Amino acid sequence: MALAFDEFGRPFIILREQEKKSRLRGLDAQKANIAAAKAVARILRTSLGPKGMDKMLQSPDGDVTITNDGATILEQMDVDNQIAKLMVELSRSQDYEIGDGTTGVVVMAGSLLEQAEKLLERGIHRSGLLRVMRWHRGLPVNRCKRELAEIAVKAVLAVADLERKDVNLDLIKVEGKVGGKLEDTELIYGIVVDKDMSHPQMPKRIENAKIAILTCPFEPPKPKTKHKVDIDTVEKFQTLREQEQKYFDEMVQKCKDAGATLVICQWGFDDEANHLLMNRNLPAVRWVGGVELELIAIATGGRIVPRFQELTPEKLGKAGLVREKSFGTTKDRMLYIEKCANSRAVTIFIRGGNKMMIEETKRSLHDALCVARNLIRNNSIVYGGGSAEIACSVAVEAAADRHPGVEQYAIRSFADALDAVPLALAENSGLSPIDTLTADNNPHCGIDCNDVGTTDMKEQNVFETLIGKQQQILLATQVVKMILKIDDVISPSEY
């Protein structure tokens, strides 16, 4: 360490590179990394499955989230260890690709690493392990899970393109409002916007609406440069007012000429314009966001219009019914745009006692929508409750018997690692893991988490998508390979 001075005479300290950094090599590096990854997996392990526990997370600004969704837990955990971050990435990738299985994938990776650690301690070199891995190629919203699942399936089927076997989930808008019960959650074949008519005396119900969807403001044009208007007489003021009114009038007239019976605007407008719209019998909705405008345009078959001059009858959106709905005794009102020209845009409108509940329902629905979409893309399934993992484990174990050398240990360890998911499910459901894993030859045999009375997951109708399970194994294996390849960690040391 040395003290030096810069050109302004300010002192600063020079630290030599080595002094700033700590360094772990070889087995120590691998063990430290495995420990970090395992720590993350351990946190998620108790959240796996239908009987998994929720986690309560508090953000630095005090917001509280209660969830058992793996990706969300990891997203909100403030991890600064690089390897732990890799696990966060892992869960995110599963979420991105499949949208479900985000807890399981981390549990699986943690278990693979645990097995790898044992082998490393026994002196089996990592390259052997890596070779084996290369060779080897799931609601706290329990109360209404059936209703919510049905809503998810109906929503996906409403927007699915069955010919192309794909689903654009962007066409499903998920909106939530605090109040009411979870049971009041509904699927609307149309768009729900968290807005109301701009004036309380405008009609609350418009049938066969022709909608002008506008991104131009309802206001007189603003001069581009700064200018000054001297209004020193009442006459001048009157003229200005009249001119302004004329502008508004023309805008309203253009909408009317095109045949619009409702205008939906991206921007706001002042009281005067609002009054005029009301007087001229043209209901309006203001401050509608860009994404919503686009969805409204898709649903009603209309075009987004950036200038009043461009408004033509063909560009108007059509909806059989537009209505304003108020909730309970509150002032809360929402706009329902239904019976649209193009029914392929739907809204799931979630109700619930508090914001947290609505957020968690949104996450659960996201998973359910993804599963339904995945099944449209590829309808192959595997049975859940850990049965797929047990069946794979049995098959890998059998394969190990055919490999004489040291590799068989690594292959067996891989088989053991696959047992992590059924073991965690059993533990989380209060079942004895030993009994549960003494599987018979039935490949559908898994963990009876909900105490239904049979371990046959086919009978229980517990299944997962094949692509989801494949992706879990693939991603977990990839990240473990990556972690095991690291044998030198250089990091800034802590002071």
Given 65, 103, 261, 347, which residue is catalytic?
103
Given 65, 67, 69, 347, which residue is catalytic?
69
Task: Give the Cα separation of 462 and 445 in Å (integer).
Answer: 11
Task: Give the Cα separation of 267 and 279 in Å (integer).
Answer: 20
Residue 107 CB, shortest distance to ligand ADP, in Å, is 7
Stretch that binds ligand ADP, among 6-14, 48-56, 116-124, 294-302 (CB under 6 A): 48-56
Number of residues that bind ligand ADP (CB under 6 A): 24
Task: Give the Cα separation of 361 and 139 in Å (integer).
Answer: 8
Residue 359 CB, shortest distance to ligand ADP, in Å, is 16
Residue 385 CB, shortest distance to ligand ADP, in Å, is 3
CA count, 13 A, side-chain hemisphere, 183: 1
From 288, 447, 475, 480, residue interacting with ligand ADP (rule: CB under 6 A): 447
Q: Three-class SS of residue 13?
A: strand
Residue 47 CB, shortest distance to ligand ADP, in Å, is 6
Site string for ligand ADP, 128-147 (x = CB under 6 A): ----------x---------
Q: Which two tokens stand for residue 215?
A: 């991104």
Active-site residue flag, 67: no
Burial of 147 (0-12, 13-18, 19+ CB in 10 A): middle
Q: Which of 151, 182, 200 is nearest to 324 (CA)?
A: 200
Residue 254 CB, shortest distance to ligand ADP, in Å, is 52
Q: Which two tokens stand for residue 28?
A: 């120590």
When the beta carbons of 66 and 178 are compared against ligand ADP, the nearer one is 66
Report which DSSP code applies to 136.
-
When the beta carbons of 176 and 385 are compared against ligand ADP, the nearer one is 385
From 43, 50, 119, 177, residue interacting with ligand ADP (rule: CB under 6 A): 50
From 114, 292, 416, 464, residue interacting with ligand ADP (rule: CB under 6 A): 464
Q: With both helix axes pointing from N to C terminus, report the angle between 126-135 and 407-418 in degrees, rounded to the nearest 10.
A: 60
The CB density around residue 29, as the number of other CB atoms within 10 Å, is 16
Active-site residue flag, 102: yes
Active-site residue flag, 367: yes
Task: Give the Cα separation of 395 and 316 in Å (integer).
Answer: 60
When the beta carbons of 50 and 317 are compared against ligand ADP, the nearer one is 50
Q: Which of 429, 389, 360, 428 is nearest to 46 (CA)?
A: 428
Stretch that binds ligand ADP, among 55-63, 170-178, 211-219, 381-389 (CB under 6 A): 381-389
One-letter identity of residue 79: V
Task: Give the Cα separation of 24 and 488 in Å (integer).
Answer: 6
Task: Give the Cα separation of 222 and 121 in Å (integer).
Answer: 74
Name which of residues 258 to 317 contact ligand ADP (CB under 6 A): none
What is each CA distance from 157 to 111, 167, 169, 364, in whole angstroms?
37, 8, 11, 18
Site string for ligand ADP, 82-111 (x = CB under 6 A): ------------------xxxxx-------
From 384, 412, 427, 455, residue interacting with ligand ADP (rule: CB under 6 A): 384
Active-site residue flag, 233: no
Q: Which of 475, 446, 468 is nearest to 372 (CA)?
A: 468
The CB density around residue 412, as the number of other CB atoms within 10 Å, is 20
Residue 438 CB, shortest distance to ligand ADP, in Å, is 17
Stretch that binds ligand ADP, among 267-275, 308-316, 318-326, 443-451 (CB under 6 A): 443-451
Site string for ligand ADP, 402-421 (x = CB under 6 A): -------------------x
When the beta carbons of 70 and 443 are compared against ligand ADP, the nearer one is 70
Residue number with the shortest CB distance to ligand ADP? 138
Given 102, 261, 347, 361, which residue is catalytic?
102
114 lines the binding site for ligand ADP (CB under 6 A): no
For 96-110, the DSSP string reads HHTSS-HHHHHHHHH
Task: Give the Cα separation of 127 and 149 in Å (integer).
Answer: 45
Q: Which residues are catalytic?
A: 69, 102-103, 367
Q: What residues line the site for ligand ADP (CB under 6 A)?
A: 47-50, 52, 68, 70, 100-104, 138, 384-386, 421, 425, 446-447, 449-450, 462, 464
